[in-house]
Structure 1
Amino acid sequence: MAAERLSMRTIKEVLRLKWEKKFSNKQIEQSCKIARSTIREYLVRAERAGLNWPEVSDLDDGRLEALLFSPSVHAECSEKRNLPDMEYLRKELTRKGVTLRLLWLEYRQVNPDGYQYSQFCYHYHQWCNKLDVCLRQTHRAGEKLFLDYAGQTIPVTDPLTGKTIDAYLFIATLGASNYTFAWASFSQDLPSWIDANVRALNFFGGVPEILVPDNLKTGVTKACYYEPDINPTYYKMACHYNTVIIPARIVKPKDKAKVESAVLIAERWILAALRNHAFFSISELNNAIAEKLEDLNNRTFQKMNGTRRSLYETLDRPALKPLPASPYVYAECKKVRVNIDYHVTIDGHYYSVPYQLVKEQVEAWLTATTVEILFKNRRVASHARSTEKYQHTTLTEHMPKAHQKYLEWTPSRIMDWAGKNGPNTRQIVTCIMERHRHPQQGFRSCLGIMRLAKRYSSERLEAACGRALLLKAYSYKSIESILKTNLDAQELPESSPEKKITHYNIRGQEYYRQEESAHA
């Protein structure tokens, strides 16, 4: 392989010393610290290009390089050797079992005078290096918060059973200051993810403009390069804090290089530092993490002045948006369908929704104390959460009008309504409901009797009820028959005095009085 080419600045200095200062090659060698053979080569190249000193001083590096190192010879050589198709090589290498050496052997079969294996690999790697150009990102203060879990876990021992449970380390870091937060939990499920995010925002004391998580299943329901689907609960949390979520692209760790670096640092300065410690509870572990985290954020940078905390106080902290008045309360989202009785079933309990939504699919947001039901992102019902299985929580306004009117009728209300018509009407209604095992079974008869007042009159209904009481005819049909036959207009029969019955088998009350006195 050819020797590494000197910089254009050094070559210019060689030409200046030779042509302007009239130095010998030995003096130039001592001044520039380069071999005389190299000096001679560049002087020959300059003479072939027809250059002189005043002209060289006005040329930029690119123009000088083009004149000194003409690509004509290299191009002719490359054309003669037939440089391989680099894009073809890259695609072939993605196939299982294909190696660069295999591709080189195939290349040499077609091009016997082509490149040797080392040059073949060199040109391919040079081409690859130009593909993945890294963009150095400049993070604005308070703009992005990067979130991820560390790959390494921490064992926590159960003091009762002696079994160890792995805890996962959540990492969050701000883009501008690298100020870092860490928290351990036993799971990476949705409640743990939301709890860690809320704790991170409280730790930073403000809200960034953008949250940049990895494509973790709990945060991103469906990973997509262009339009990832955010978990509804995570999205609602972001709305509560007035921020947005922009996940990192799939298999693009450079999108979240900040948190990848923070994870690496946390594994070195937190997890590695705690490797010889035994933890018997998650709270004990998080207390130890908090101490190490304090040291990490207060440690001076190696290549710049200040610490993560000092940069946070001067850059990120003033730029963060304020936290809301109350922290986000975890709410789980469930999609449920409204049953024909206008109720939805959640954990075995039935909650009502407006009857117009029968057979529609709705979203139920569940907290520890409430059940909130949304239809097309609009709240349609809210209930206190109940743990009683197979019971109903029903609001009257969710019921159809007919159902509402039915529920309005109670025994006391029907009796009061009948009492407004008269005492006989009230008494007959009371007798009807008392004759049934359940008062509701007599509602229909009572309502029918009350409606007779519209067909006849209140006075006639009161008189008919009086006759029905005398006859002990406690039914709607009896009273209707009395009204139809105008029996209510007739005078009620007076109750006749009791006739004393005399018979030789009847001793009478005088006999028992004598018996009582004799025994006395």
Structure 2
Amino acid sequence: MADYRRIMALLLQGRSYREVVETAGCSHRDVARAKQVIGMNGITSVEGVSDAEVAGWFPDGRRRVSDEYERPEFESVLQALKHRRHFTLLQGWRRYADAAGTGKKKYGYAQYCALFSEWARTNDLVAVLRHEPGRAMHVDWAGDTLDVVDRADGVVVKAYLFVAVLPYSGAVFCRAYPDMKSEAWLDAHVQAFAFFGGVPQLVVPDNPTTSTHQRHKGDAERVVNARYQQLADHYQCAIVPARAKKPRDKAAAESAVNVVNLRVIGYLEGETWFSVSELNEAIDERVREVNRDLRRADDSTRWERFETEEQHLLTALPDARFEEVAWKQLKAARNYHITADYQHYSVPYSLAGQLLRVRLTSSRVTVFNGNEVVCEHPRLSGRKGQYSTLAEHVPDKHRDIDGLWSRTWFSDRARSFGPATQEVIEQILDRHQIEAQGYLDCQNILGGLGKKNRQRLEAACGELLARGGYPTYTTLKRLMAAIDSDAKAPRTIRPAASTRKHTETREPGPEVYVRDASHYEIGSQGAGQ
């Protein structure tokens, strides 16, 4: 049917028949009809004209076929599909066809299914119909990242966002990690299960190397990694990776990633974060809004659908959460700290220099001396070189004890390099709340940079102090390299004095007479004189 409101508006603007036909996409008959209505009703503007008035002026003589058929009631069919495992659309159609109606015709089965699909799509219920509640959790990494600034040195590092979604309800979980390595991948699953309060039957990842690998190079078959399978065994669920080049296998995850990109990253990327844990607190707030505040076409939220229709179908969490265990033998340094994965953990100072057994999980570091537990620390993550130092491990007032590093030990050693080096070492020790946390930095500078370059280290320390810079191993190494480069730069070479005195030219003095070129011309009068 022609848009008569637009046709009248164009005519009232003084447009010609041809212009109206081309602009409104109508026929000349429609334009003539609209012009007649304008004249009969004295219309000067379409502003304020209701749709009912337009419909009255231009009645549609066509008879709609759908008016002859009884419209099905699909809400009860939806509830039956969700809660009755063996219910089908064929059963729903038979009930519709057999029910006493209003005397109108009934749709056939094919048209009934088409109308139901259109109704579900219009009301944002496709996911509810395609997925079984509590059956699967789809997981993936978001493509976009957020920046985290290290307070200590201002270095910006990327935070990667893990996304998990339950396709039936659409409930979303998101957590940031400093990398996408296996440890982060496994911990993210543990956190997601805890967030949903249960475990689905299936976990559907994409195919990153942290989840699957090829048994043989070039082989299309991919198998679940052993570490990933251990997690699945612990939680009694199955890992079913999405098939390659089958986008519908991971459609739910991609949809959730898009939501995270828009609703989480889009809101947080302009702000400054100083730790991954601080960023995760902000992410939790955004995810809560996505799950609990955003309403769908049927006026329900993701979390309402999850709590009422899906949560009770998840498998209960095991008594103990999954933690991957790694064992190492580490030697306690002279600063009574062990180093695991570039992080430092204290032990009683009496164990300095001894070889200790260390158990590492995703959350704890446990140190053993033989079979006896010596101490435990929370596992550090993020920026390398962090310290976890227990007060009972620190010697009283950092007193000098044979075999241990101390302030006096480093200060005396730095003094032998020069006053600038001693001042830098003092600054490093003073900036730590627990002095022993600076010992390794001091040892790296004096024993590493200064081992064969004492003079250059002293010069670099002097340059650093003159600039008022922040003393670190990397900064001093860079300054020493610059000093070394300047020392090796080629210098301007001047001739030796013995050579220079024979080659230098002097301006002729006033007692020297110089003839011009004309004197030597042939035939000149002075040539033969």
Q: Which of the five TM-score ranges fits, normalised by the shorter chain?
A: 0.3 to 0.5
TM-score w.r.t. structure 1 length?
0.39
TM-score w.r.t. structure 2 length?
0.39
Task: Pick the structure with greater CA Rg.
Answer: 1
